[in-house]
């Protein structure tokens, strides 16, 4: 009874832990930790169903030998593997002699790891099987381990315990998936709309995608939080949407623009801001749009902001945008050589650009993370 109370308390604690994040990778890792602790076993695996391909895939493993195993394993949902069988039937299994089970997927024997005993249970969300959770090798209770042959078996009560945990894991996996999916959906939709807007411009295509990619490359060499990285990505996707408001005849003009045309063209950051500023959830993003033509020395537009008055993500997008503009081919001139564009950016360190961001750009460039503009395939 005492043990039962202990297990239930663990379960409660694990369910809180599992649900305390909507990040898919974190949920998976916590699920495996919880399995190892609750079942007192050597390692654990979590396979998820890829419903498009009707396959199971496995991306993480924990425990003593699990840490190194980052490569992905894929299994068919059929009786050629234990996990496949459980996913197919929705039935839990205890197997106390894994190596001799006909379904044991020999290729999953990883780096000398020997599977002795196993419980394998389905993850079910709203009647669908969304994955399979395995506990592997119940640990002996004595601290010094006896030989492999005398390790304990898993029993029915272990299975019931793992089934209860798998219920919580399934919920946490499903929630994180819903959250991740809607976020991806959001970003993808914005990107598709931004690209459609970009098509009106005389830039050759792919500018938005490249500015996103270059901004993220620069950010790799800065110390941004996950949240800042998200704001940067979305800000880069949306940086030119204000061009919706610019007349076709200016956007599409093949020759150089005259002074009035330039004035209208330069209104695009402000227009983008006007379009999106009432979206409350974009408050940390729209600064990237409004200020991506500001300059570190205060000579940019539309607000003539200076130095750190310019939002950080705008300072990054500014470097990425300028670099892409230089290396890309336009109707009236071919793109610059990347090294020449690189020199230009470095030359403008401290005048047009934030010195710290130029430093990160230099890192990104020298690590081959900046591309060649519209000439390259992304």
Active site residues: 243
**Window of 86-94, 101-109, 241-249, 327-335 that interacts with a second copy by CB under 8 A:** 241-249
d(CA 40, CA 38): 6
With CB under 8 A as the contact rule, the residue among 25, 263, 279, 308 that binds a second copy is: 279
Dihedral (C-alpha) 294, 227, 373, 310: value to the nearest 10 degrees?
Answer: 10
With CB under 8 A as the contact rule, the residue among 57, 105, 113, 179 that binds a second copy is: 179
Per this entry, what is the length of the chain? 378
DSSP state of 243: G
**Window of 133-141, 150-158, 278-286, 354-362 that interacts with a second copy by CB under 8 A:** 278-286
Of 330-369, binders to a second copy (CB under 8 A) are none
CB of 86 to a second copy, least distance (A): 20
With CB under 8 A as the contact rule, the residue among 35, 117, 134, 168 that binds a second copy is: 168
DSSP state of 311: -
Comparing CB distances to a second copy, the nearer of 18 and 132 is 18
**Window of 109-117, 133-141, 272-280, 370-378 that interacts with a second copy by CB under 8 A:** 272-280
**Tokens linked to 228:** 């800042």
CA distances from 88 to 84, 91, 115, 202 (A): 6, 8, 22, 53
Residue 173 is a binding residue for a second copy (CB under 8 A): no
CB of 260 to a second copy, least distance (A): 17
Backbone dihedral angles phi then psi of residue 334, each to the nearest 5 degrees: -80, 160
With CB under 8 A as the contact rule, the residue among 44, 86, 171, 358 that binds a second copy is: 171
CB of 364 to a second copy, least distance (A): 28
Comparing CB distances to a second copy, the nearer of 2 and 100 is 2
CA distances from 261 to 253, 254, 264, 275 (A): 10, 12, 5, 21
Residue 188 is a binding residue for a second copy (CB under 8 A): yes
d(CA 328, CA 206): 10
Of 17-46, binders to a second copy (CB under 8 A) are 19-20, 22
Residue 378 is a binding residue for a second copy (CB under 8 A): no
Comparing CB distances to a second copy, the nearer of 27 and 87 is 27
Residue 244 is a binding residue for a second copy (CB under 8 A): yes
d(CA 45, CA 26): 14
With CB under 8 A as the contact rule, the residue among 96, 164, 303, 329 that binds a second copy is: 164
With CB under 8 A as the contact rule, the residue among 54, 182, 263, 308 that binds a second copy is: 182
Comparing CB distances to a second copy, the nearer of 149 and 249 is 249
d(CA 231, CA 288): 8
With CB under 8 A as the contact rule, the residue among 87, 241, 316, 327 that binds a second copy is: 241
Residue 172 is a binding residue for a second copy (CB under 8 A): yes
Give ∠ CA 151-157-158 in degrees, rounded to 5: 50
Are 224 and 245 contacting, i.e. CB atoms less than 8 angstroms apart? no
Comparing CB distances to a second copy, the nearer of 224 and 282 is 282
With CB under 8 A as the contact rule, the residue among 1, 102, 142, 255 that binds a second copy is: 1
d(CA 299, CA 293): 9
With CB under 8 A as the contact rule, the residue among 62, 82, 190, 212 that binds a second copy is: 190
Tell the residue number behind the tokens 């197919």, with chain if given.
88
Q: Starting at the edge strand that comes first in sequence, how are the strands of the sheet with 118-125 ordered?
A: 73-76, 55-63, 41-50, 128-138, 118-125, 93-95
Backbone dihedral angles phi then psi of residue 128, each to the nearest 5 degrees: -95, 145
d(CA 18, CA 176): 10
Question: What are the residues binding a second copy (CB under 8 A)?
Answer: 1-2, 4-5, 8-9, 11-12, 15-16, 19-20, 22, 164, 167-168, 171-172, 175, 178-179, 181-186, 188-190, 192-193, 195-197, 199-200, 241, 244-245, 247-249, 275-276, 278-282
């Amino acid at each position: 009874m005492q043990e039962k109370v202990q297990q239930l308390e663990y379960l409660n604690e694990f369910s809180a832990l599992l649900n305390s994040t909507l990040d898919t990778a974190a949920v998976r890792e916590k699920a495996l930790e919880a399995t190892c602790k609750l079942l007192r076993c050597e390692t654990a695996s979590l396979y998820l169903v890829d419903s498009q391909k009707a396959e199971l895939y496995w991306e993480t493993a924990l425990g003593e030998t699990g840490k190194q195993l980052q490569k992905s394993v894929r299994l068919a949902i059929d009786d050629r593997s234990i996990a496949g069988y459980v996913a197919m039937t929705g039935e839990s299994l205890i197997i106390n002699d894994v190596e001799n089970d006909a379904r044991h997927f020999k290729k999953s024997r990883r780096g000398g790891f020997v599977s002795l005993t196993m419980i394998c249970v389905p993850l079910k969300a709203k009647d669908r099987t969304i994955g399979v959770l395995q506990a592997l090798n119940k640990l002996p209770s004595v601290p010094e381990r006896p030989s492999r042959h005398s390790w304990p078996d898993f029993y029915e009560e272990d299975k019931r315990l793992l089934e209860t945990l798998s219920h919580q894991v399934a919920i946490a996996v499903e929630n994180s998936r819903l959250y991740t999916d809607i976020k991806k959906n959001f970003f993808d939709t914005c990107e598709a709309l931004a690209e459609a807007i970009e098509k009106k411009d005389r830039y050759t295509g792919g500018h938005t995608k490249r500015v996103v990619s270059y901004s993220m490359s620069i950010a790799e060499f800065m110390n941004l939080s996950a949240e800042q990285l998200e704001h940067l990505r979305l800000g880069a996707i949306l940086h030119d949407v204000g061009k919706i408001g610019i007349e076709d005849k200016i956007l599409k003009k093949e020759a150089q623009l005259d002074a009035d045309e330039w004035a209208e063209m330069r209104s695009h950051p402000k227009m983008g801001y006007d379009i999106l500023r009432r979206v409350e959830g974009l408050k940390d993003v729209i600064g990237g749009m409004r200020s991506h033509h500001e300059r570190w020395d205060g000579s940019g537009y539309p607000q003539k902001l200076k130095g750190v008055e310019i939002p950080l993500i705008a300072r990054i997008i500014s470097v990425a945008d300028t670099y892409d503009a230089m290396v890309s081919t336009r109707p009236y001139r071919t793109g610059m050589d990347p090294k020449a564009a690189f020199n230009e950016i470095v030359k403008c360190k401290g005048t047009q650009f934030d010195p710290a961001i130029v430093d990160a750009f230099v890192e990104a460039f020298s690590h081959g993370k900046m591309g060649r503009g519209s000439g390259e395939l992304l």
